[in-house]
Chains A and B, each alone.
Chain A
Amino acid sequence: MADTLPVEMIVNGRRRAIEVPVNVTLLDLLRDELGLTGTKECCDVGECGACTVLVDGRAVDSCLMLAVEADGAEITTVEGLAADGQLSPLQQAFLDKGASQCGFCTPGQLMAAHALLQENPDPSLPQIQEGLSGNLCRCGCYFQIADAVLAVAQSGQEGGRK
């Protein structure tokens, strides 16, 4: 008999008004209610970053947030990166650099990297490593991921873009 609350949020540019049980995480809402399964569920304790989304422009672990806490917020998930069927420069770089093996961590890595570049369009390698330290990759693509982020930063294609 979980209580529910009406929640309004903008998800990937689209306004959503939903009645949400108060004991559901933002992660579960995105995946199970909104069908946005790009965001991955893995550790559920804020260790791995697979569930990373942007809330009002900031990267957060959506497994550590109740959906009702996102009331009034603007959410961007990995589904919101590509526009008009075109991969974002970051997504393209991940592809080009082989930064995705099994791909399970990739949505979280992309969102964390996207947020990093918004904040710091020209990060150094240590800054990239630190910025992505909340995202684990069991396939061990760390070099390729950092390389992809570096390539996008150097091309100047991501910073400042929403």
Chain B
Amino acid sequence: MQTFAYLRPSTLAEAVALLEAHAPDARLLAGGTDLIIGLRDGSERPRVVIDVKRVPELCCGIRDDGGTVTIGATTIMADLATSALVRRHFPALAEAAAAVGSAQIRNRATLAGNICNASPAADTAPPLLVYGAVVLAAGQHGARRIPISEFFVNPGVNALARDELVVAIELPVPAVRVGAAHVRRTRRRGHDLASVTLCAGVDETGVTRLAYGSVGPRPVLKIDESGVLADPAASGAARAAVFDKLFAEASPSPRSMRAGPAYRLAMLRVLGSRAVQTAIERLGEERTNG
């Protein structure tokens, strides 16, 4: 593997200062499931690698702050998938975390890493979009909050400034009842990147939030306020018209080796209606439980 300097800050202030000092030539290391591959194959050539796993402010807790659940940047997928708090309030996020990679990957890969890599196929992105997550970032000029819908810019490009890092991801506990589901399509069962990754959230006021990725340069969120998708009695034609609108932006790359554009667009439809249906069922269960 190429050479680089390895730095291990132990406070957020130190991490920010190191990032500021080395910004263009530095890469942050959290779970490393993408970065280590890049360091080995030379697609990443930082002079400095800053390992943020020992920064307590970023650390790996999932907290209930009353109305908001805060997930530390270095929380791993395995902990997200099994967290009682996440499963209660944001089950589709737990579902997505459980779908990432293999058990071995989920034991290293972090939530912040998943979003910062800004892969169009990131599985946690659709549920974060549906649940209206907010990214807490810190940099030399202080802290700021970035709505997740503004966080993904292009493949591999996120909204952070060069000297900023993610401290935590905040999720507002929904004020109304929501049923949500995450679904994905892969070439094979098990460990694979998604050809389509999608999350639907239906709330009791009839609003459907649909977020999808791997079919364009960034994961996107679309909202149906007409109540058509949330209505199990709506006609097939009415639903199709809404899906037409919500999926209008999908533009799968013809260069991807995972699946062709036509297939992805077709699957987007299938997964979209399946996820909405499951979300409606779960909303029903919420009603009976609540």
A-side interface residues toward B, CB under 8 Å?
A: 1-3, 5, 22-25, 44-47, 49, 52, 55, 58-61, 63-66, 68-69, 112, 115-116, 129-135
Contact = CB atoms under 8 A, between A and B. Distances in A.
A69 B191 CA distance: 24
Given A68-B8, A69-B29, 10 more contacts: A1-B3, A3-B5, A46-B37, A47-B191, A60-B107, A61-B33, A64-B37, A64-B104, A65-B32, A115-B103
Contacts of B101: 46, 134
Most chain A CB atoms below 10 A, which of B32, B49, B103: B103
B51 to A, nearest CB: 6
21 contacts: A5-B6, A22-B6, A23-B4, A23-B39, A24-B1, A44-B37, A46-B101, A49-B104, A52-B104, A59-B104, A60-B108, A63-B36, A64-B37, A66-B6, A66-B29, A68-B51, A69-B29, A112-B103, A133-B102, A133-B189, A134-B103
A49 B105 CA distance: 10
B105 A61 contact: yes
Contacts of A25: 1, 36, 40
B36 A133 contact: no
A69 B107 contact: no
Contacts of B107: 55, 58-60
* Shortest 3 CB-CB contacts between residues of A and residues of B: A134-B102, A133-B190, A22-B6
Nearest to B41: A45
Interface residues of B, number: 28
Contacts of B8: 68
B78 interface: yes
Contacts of B2: 23
B104 A45 contact: no
Contact of B78 (A1, A52, A58, A133): A58
B190 A65 contact: no
B3 A61 contact: no
B6 A65 contact: no
Contact of B190 (A1, A44, A55, A130): A130
Interface of B: 1-6, 8, 29, 32-33, 36-37, 39-40, 49, 51, 53, 78, 101-105, 107-108, 189-191
A46 B105 contact: yes
Most chain A CB atoms below 10 A, which of B5, B33, B36, B39: B36
Contacts of A5: 6
A135 B108 CA distance: 16
A143 to B, nearest CB: 15
Nearest to A129: B190
Nearest to A51: B104
Contacts of B6: 3, 5, 22-23, 66, 68
A52 to B, nearest CB: 6
B105 A22 contact: no
Nearest to A5: B6
A116 B103 contact: yes
B108 A64 contact: yes
Contacts of A52: 104
A58 B51 CA distance: 20
Given A23-B39, A64-B37, A134 B4 contact: no
Contact of B4 (A22, A46, A58): A22
Contacts of A1: 3
Nearest to A115: B103
B103 A131 contact: yes
